[in-house]
Structure 1
Amino acid sequence: MDGRTLHVGLVVPAFFYVPYWAAHDLGLYRKQGLNVEFVVFGGIDPLTKALKDGTIDVGIGSPEHVIHDVEAGGDLRMIAGNVNRLTHSLIAQPEIKRLEDLRGKTIGVSALSAGTSSLFTDILERVGLHPGDYHVVEAGVVPPRHDRLLERSIDAAMQTDPHNYLAEDAGFTNLGPVSDWIPYFQFTSVNVNRTWAGENEDALVRFLAASIQGSQWMFKNQQSVVEVAAQRMDVDQRYLERAWKDHVSGFAVPIDLRLEARSIETALEMIRRDRPTSVQVSGDASFAKYVDTRYLREAQQVAGVDEALVT
């Protein structure tokens, strides 16, 4: 082992990064001969750019951006899962009580090219609202979106836990968990440049193996997990306890870093439907086009877990 440094990109300090924070704090990366440094970008687009230009080695972020890159002939690939099932809720201003009340309102999303935009389109079409019946604006990732709701510059947004619970206690309307409408969606994944990955296979496998151990630890140690999260998130611990239950009970975060084919396929279908002019995804394109599980297979063996790459 070479004691080498890996730069790992995160979007924001969010609860679903606990497996990686835990692997760091418990010394699991160090035991694998790695010095892992996290870089927080504050947005999906800058993280993806950093991954493409080699500023970071691993990016835990948007599967949709990987899909876009692959369709453009790029080298990005998903190699493991992070959030395979959504823990988001639809949060709206207090006077908004139904989805139908969003007609003419302003909806905040992380980025127009990312998942929450597609999810809103899908859900609102179920109650007869179509693009043009409401306004969509980029409002940043979850913490900034919470601030935008508080200042009433947006009327609704999807908020993952624990910020959905913060919003409820602040008097906002929770229109329901997104999983009620869309049970499977690949929200975040572990992404790499495949050229870099091929040249650094040993270090990448060791990173994934330690991350799997961090995820296993997350599932078994609620109070310690809350303490790990509290060190990086400016959120009361009672909300973090609820976030732990949401992520673990529904296997939103995979204990073995597996990807879920149906979750990726949902993301693909939304891209086909919502953005046909900017990203062409053929109707017969399979999730396999965008993933490379060879490193996860090796890492699961190192970590001593039963192999489950894509389910």
Structure 2
Amino acid sequence: MRMPGICRLQLVWASAAVIAGLASAAACAHAQGQPWRHGVIEPKSDAGFQVMAVRGGFAAKQGLKLELPYFQNDVIALRALLAGELESYEGGAATAIIAAARNADVKIIGCHWQTVVHSVFARAEFKGPQDLKGATMAISAPNATPDMIGKAYLAQNDVPASEVKFASLGNDPERYKALLGGIALATVISIEFLPIGKTDGIKLVARGSEVMPKYLRLCAVTTGKLLDARREDAVRFLAAQMQGYNYALANREEELRITREIAGIKAGDPRPEFMFAEAARADTGIDPRMPIPMDKLEWLQQQLVKAGNLSQPFDVSRVVNGDIRAQALARAGLPR
């Protein structure tokens, strides 16, 4: 006997409901599984971009519990990654390249901020690079981005690093205070201090993007071992990051509000607006598609060899995994 049409339709609806319920339950179960711990640099005037994958609900929609522990710099975050305390971190490509050259298991899976924003600043009495001989330059940890930019600036201006006193003085605000207090003559800090430095007698000496124009500011770094063990989570993570960056760029006021909230920046401080404008620059700012420009990585490796950070070049492609990005792009709904 043939089943009446309405009964067949009810069965189809019922089947669809069951499938949808199973899919929803699977997503919930996945979200309740292992968290993905992504290390980020201590919040500054672009903090809204860092957290939008979580605050915008994109990680949850991907079925991922995303945690964002803070680190003072990417060198410390790298150590945490290799110790198994993180699944990934964001930082400069140089740190990952140096680690890979020493046979560390690190993989760059995407780079969102296309040009470095750390720049050289100095006190008002600074007249030129030669003034740094015998003077103090405040930096971060060795091989972290501020250290790389500072030493590249010295090399380009024929100032031997051996004739400069380097002081590792923590994060950007602490190094800025070192200038204000006369502890250091120059330092390397985010370009975000330009708007307030003018009133404090602190001047911009050289943009990091001029010193090292192909230096990628921020890339997402993980390990090959983790990609083997949690590949699906890695795709979910990167897709959520892409969607978060894309949303933040399209929703300026929300990004600024979250930045001020997280970083504790008062309403009259112009830095969040300044950094949003930097992030929105199509050629040098944030690209939500998180490309991995091999030409920039090759260039950076050459600079590291010249500076003595690497003894010899190696196949830099071994520090890259592009498959995760390709899958994440499709899942995020962004163009290639």
Normalising by the residue count of structure 1, what TM-score does the alignment of the two structures yield?
0.90
2:255 maps to 1:212: no
> CA offsets per residue over residues 30-58 of structure 1, 9 Å max, x none?
11111111111223332111100111111
The 1:61/1:125 distance shift into structure 2, 3 A limit, reads closer
Aligned mates of 2:95, 2:152 — CA distance in 1: 19
3-state SS of 1:113 partner: coil
Q: Which residue of 1 aligns with 2:303?
A: 270
The 1:194/1:18 distance shift into structure 2, 3 A limit, reads farther
Q: Which residue of 2 aligns with 1:58?
A: 88
Aligned mates of 1:140, 1:188 — CA distance in 2: 19
The 1:225/1:208 distance shift into structure 2, 3 A limit, reads same
Contact preservation (8 Å) 1:93, 1:172: yes
Contact preservation (8 Å) 2:172, 2:190: yes
Aligned mates of 1:295, 1:174 — CA distance in 2: 38
Aligned mates of 1:83, 1:144 — CA distance in 2: 23
Q: Which residue of 2 aligns with 1:253?
A: 286
2:281 maps to 1:281: no
Q: Give the C-alpha shift of residue 18 in structure 1.
A: 3.4
From 115, 118, 127, the equivalent of 2:157 is: 127
Q: Which residue of 2 aligns with 1:303?
A: 332
3-state SS of 1:92 partner: strand
Q: Give the C-alpha shift of residue 292 in structure 1.
A: 0.9
Q: Which residue of 1 aligns with 2:120?
A: 90
Q: Give the C-alpha shift of residue 21 in structure 1.
A: 0.8
Structure 2, unmatched stretches of 5+, are 1-26
3-state SS of 1:232 partner: helix
> CA offsets per residue over residues 157-206 of structure 1, 9 Å max, x none?
12213233333332112113222232210233101011012211111111
Q: Give the C-alpha shift of residue 97 in structure 1.
A: 3.1
Q: Which residue of 1 aligns with 2:102?
A: 72
Q: Give the C-alpha shift of residue 16 in structure 1.
A: 4.9
Q: Give the C-alpha shift of residue 263 in structure 1.
A: 2.9
Q: Which residue of 1 aligns with 2:208?
A: 178
3-state SS of 1:132 partner: helix
Aligned mates of 1:65, 1:230 — CA distance in 2: 29
Q: Aligned partner of 2:94: which letter?
A: E
Q: Which residue of 1 aligns with 2:177?
A: 147
Aligned mates of 1:54, 1:113 — CA distance in 2: 21
- The root-mean-square deviation of aligned C-alpha atoms, in Å, is 2.0
Aligned mates of 1:152, 1:140 — CA distance in 2: 16
Structure 1 vs Structure 2: percent identity of aligned residues?
18
- Which one has the largest radius of gyration? 2
Contact preservation (8 Å) 1:16, 1:82: no
Aligned mates of 2:141, 2:285 — CA distance in 1: 22
Q: Which residue of 2 aligns with 1:192?
A: 222
Aligned mates of 2:139, 2:298 — CA distance in 1: 21
Structure 1, unmatched stretches of 5+, are none
2:167 maps to 1:137: yes
Aligned mates of 2:326, 2:320 — CA distance in 1: 12
Contact preservation (8 Å) 1:271, 1:281: no
Aligned mates of 1:212, 1:15 — CA distance in 2: 20
Work out the number of aligned pairs and report it: 303
Contact preservation (8 Å) 2:119, 2:149: no
